Structure 1
Amino acid sequence: MAFNCDRPRSDDVVLGNQTPSPITAAVLGGLTGVKHRLASPLVETRIAALHEALKYGDAGLDLVILALKDPFWQVRKVADRLLQNQPEPKAKQALQEKFTNRYDTFVAMAKNGSVSDVDFLMEALEVDENTATYKLVDFVLGLVNTARGKDRIKYYLFNGTQMQRNYAALFFKRIKNRDVLTEAVKLGCIDRVQAFSK
């Protein structure tokens, strides 16, 4: 009988794709096991599988590239960081395509200007903590021109994280809405220098 080291066996500690396993569980099965863990409902399991995937050469790198579209932002963030450290041309190409697609997506969302679009853009400031994201969000917020979009940015000025309040303040500063900025300063959401400096 031929032995296939890439497939889990019935006597493995955890047989792949049976039940979600904790991140610390011993999971055998080579690249097939990595694929199973990348489909786990547990974010921690997916992230651990990404780190392991790179041990499997080109096939593993392909899995990390696919994870750039994972539904969980935490997984996408780890995939992005792992690819930034890879010298392979296809890793660099995947990151470039991601950036190009992201730019088009962010511009379209800003122009649409719905509540969920603004939420997505503001969440990006907290999720993708890098200069490229900050500059992109700063730029596209300037494209928001709907009443509901502006109201949602105002919501973040008063209720967002410090980062989100900063970018919301920049938005209102650029459109010269001093009343909103004055109110935000009075409530301690931003400081006077941030609101009114040139």
Structure 2
Amino acid sequence: MARYTGPVCRLCRVEGTKLYLKGDRCHTEKCALERRNYAPGQHGQRRSKRSDYGLQLREKQKVKRMYGLLERQFRGYFAKAERQRGITGENLLGLLERRLDNVVYRLGLCHSRTQARQMVLHGHFLVDGKRVNIPSYLVKKEQKVQLREKSRTNKEIQESLKSSERRGVPKWMSLDAANFVGTILDLPKREDISEEIQEQLVVELYSK
């Protein structure tokens, strides 16, 4: 299945929660979910009771769309999380958080994960001084993610840094805004992820 290219605010309305796909717009009154808090389409305002499977499927779709992944990619992360020690659901979220495009977004260097993915693909970021253009690259503890010098005058990045104070930087990383450098202090833990995600539903869906 190809990547979704339609209006992303529609996805938030489908899932009934903010996926923060439009960056700063999601924090304002212009957010589509704030104005129309119901599913899109002719029958969007109807109340329907979902089955257990329906709840599990919607939760999986929500997480997948939040991090901008295709089904095959998401299944790959789940399989890797299963092989790791610990709780599978928490392992899964930890892997997703360690993606380079997500790290760039969490540091506040980009407005959204979509923008972060594009910037990484175009080679704007360095990891430990080496250029990395793979959005799925998994960062490790004590690594440094830095914006390359030629890209520091980018207006979108500068605007994103100014507005990032609203979101804040997770405890497992630190940001030196003056030098456009983020440091991975520790691997992400479940309590470091603020979004409302019921990862156990995803585990139940894939365990069938």
Does TM-score exceed 0.5, indicating one fold? no
Q: Which has the higher contact order (CA 8 A, sep 6+)?
A: 2
Larger relative helix fraction: 1
Say which one has the larger Rg: 1
TM-score of the two chains, using structure 2 as the length reference: 0.29
TM-score with structure 1 setting the length:
0.30
